[in-house]
Amino acid sequence: MNNLPDFIIIGAGKCGTTSLHDYLDQHPQIYICPQKETNFFIDEATKNKLKRWNPITSIEDYSALFKNASPNQVIGEISTNYYAFPESAQLIHDLLPEVKIIAILRDPTNRAFSEYQMFVRAGHEKRDFAEAISDSQRKSYVKRGLYYSELLPFFDTFDRDKIKICLYEDFNKEPEKFVQDFFQFIEVDDNFMPDMTQRGRTGGLPKNKALNEFLKKPNPVRAAAASILKTFMPLESRQKLKSNIIQANSKKATLFPETRSKLIEFYREDILKLQDLIERDLSAWLE
């Protein structure tokens, strides 16, 4: 079957994949799926429960996403939910047995805190972080950081040389080296260096909750303002203005030591197993 992915980034969310999508899109030898999060390789029963994600449900629609790829381009997809669904590994392998699997992992405590901030900014989370990760609510933010158990099905299904595990901390520290190493793995020109001056979504919590609610949720005043702005400001400029206001209304969030310690203990066993699986020192995640 033509024009299907040569590599798939299976996760994780809040690990820089939005920025990476933009950088990969700049490479002339790469065709990156224009739809981030297709969620195609998730079983049908789960898709039916998660229709809000608008998952791609047919092979025809999935293949159509890559129809504009040139014959000499390496094709890629990013869906950061795949690693969290054990059936995804076999579903991907059944259709694409030679595909390269890539995961980007981040200190799971920081990843959970970043996801929490995203939900606060979106207006979906009112609790403080300590309450949000209480035992009864762990699944919301914490489960996605149990990387060993989530990734094991992929290591059981694919040959190890088809899997690359990257660390978000490396991406932050040495982005040029990170993308060069990435290009080498997917076998494209690693001398090409994308413009990385722009980063994707930024973290933080809103300084003014009322302003954040106004910007995030539909309301008559916002609708009227948008209607007026449409007459003299193009969509891209309006989106940039909104983004700038949201950014100006953001403050750096603090993860309290006692909360971090609680999460480290929760993740400890999984981290120790993971570092053996991927053969990387992850001791910094336990500090």
CB atoms within 10 A of CB 10: 26
Residue 179 above 60 pLDDT?
A: yes
Cα–Cα distance measured from residue 123 to residue 212, given in angstroms and rounded to the nearest whole number: 8
Cα–Cα distance measured from residue 87 to residue 156, given in angstroms and rounded to the nearest whole number: 12
Q: Which of the residue ranges 82-91, 195-204, 216-225 would you say has the lowest mean pLDDT?
A: 216-225
pLDDT at 181: 98
- Please, is 48 exposed, middle or buried when counting C-beta atoms within 10 Å of its C-beta (0-12, 13-18, 19+)? exposed
pLDDT at 253: 76
Q: What does the block give as tokens for 232? A: 């003299």
Q: What does the block give as tokens for 217? A: 């949720």
Cα–Cα distance measured from residue 172 to residue 282, given in angstroms and rounded to the nearest whole number: 16
Chain CA centroid to CA 141, Å: 14
Question: What residues does each domain of the chain span?
Answer: 7-200+257-286, 205-251
Q: What's the mean pLDDT when you consider all of the chain?
A: 87
Q: Identify the three-state secondary structure at position 14.
A: coil
Model confidence pLDDT, tens digit, residues 111-134: 999 999 888 887 788 888 988 888
Residue 142: partners with Cβ closer than 8 Å, 6 or more residues away? 108, 112, 133, 263, 266
Its CATH class, for the domain covering 7-200+257-286, is alpha beta
Residue 37 above 90 pLDDT?
A: yes
CA angle at 211 for the pair 208 and 212, rounded to the nearest 5°: 85
Residue 92: partners with Cβ closer than 8 Å, 6 or more residues away? 8, 41, 82, 99, 101, 157
